[in-house]
């Protein structure tokens, strides 16, 4: 009968504690960044930019995609307490963010280099952007329709580009490119700061 050595058990416990501590810390940072959202002149007012996916991407690269997905879920649970979107925005943000960091994390695990991280995160951003179309069309916006008529939503897009005539057109012209751009901005910031804070994330800080 095999037994687990006390040293191995202690090390496993330390790894779990480190995982939970880093996940909690990055979730808190992501919540703050999500709270500091701001509108853009080329998007309807109910769509805002934030950089809250960046901590989740950091967690993904340091501790794996499970950490990144957990951060996406936790930050949105926290944000739902102060949000006025009736939880709809948080559901969308969590789903899109999970796709972003999940794809990035899975690809990165096969190519653990700086270039691999960059390619993986760009693929994650692209996957998030593509997923945003069916997610918004079939899940998020149908829920919004209970609080805001479809014509009113389309009218908000038409204030920017009068020629749009359908939700599908709006999503393809606005939401998909915006989601990809948002992801790319998170990628750039992550690439700039990851090396400096990597020792902390991996528990090697002096």
In the chain, % of residues over pLDDT 70: 95
Residue 39 is classified by DSSP as: E
Q: Tens digit of pLDDT for each residue in 22-57?
A: 999 999 999 999 988 888 888 988 888 999 999 999
Inter-CA distances, 4 with 10, 14, 17, 18, 178, Å: 10, 15, 19, 20, 50
Residue 86 zone, left/alpha/beta (φ > 0; ψ -120 to 50; rest): left
Helix H or strand E segment including 78: helix 65-79
pTM over 0.85: yes
Question: Tens digits of per-residue pLDDT, 114-125?
Answer: 999 999 999 999
Q: Report residue 135: phi and psi, to 5°.
A: -60, -45
């Amino acid at each position: 009968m095999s037994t687990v050595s006390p040293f191995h058990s202690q090390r496993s416990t330390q790894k779990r504690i480190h995982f939970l501590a880093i996940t909690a810390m990055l979730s808190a940072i992501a919540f703050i960044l999500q709270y500091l959202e701001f509108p853009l002149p080329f998007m309807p007012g109910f769509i805002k930019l934030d950089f809250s996916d960046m901590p989740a991407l950091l967690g993904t690269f340091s501790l794996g995609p499970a950490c990144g997905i957990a951060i996406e879920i936790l930050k949105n649970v926290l944000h739902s307490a102060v949000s006025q979107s009736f939880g709809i925005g948080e559901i969308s943000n969590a789903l899109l963010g999970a796709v972003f960091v999940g794809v990035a994390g899975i690809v990165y695990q096969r190519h653990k280099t700086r270039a691999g991280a960059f390619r993986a995160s760009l693929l994650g951003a692209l996957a998030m952007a593509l997923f945003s179309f069916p997610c918004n069309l079939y899940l998020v916006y149908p829920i919004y329709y209970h609080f805001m008529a479809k014509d009113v939503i389309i009218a908000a897009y038409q204030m920017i580009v009068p020629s749009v005539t359908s939700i599908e057109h709006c999503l393809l012209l606005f939401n998909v490119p915006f989601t990809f751009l948002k992801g790319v901005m998170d990628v750039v910031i992550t690439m700039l700061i990851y090396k400096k804070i990597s020792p902390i994330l991996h528990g090697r800080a002096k």
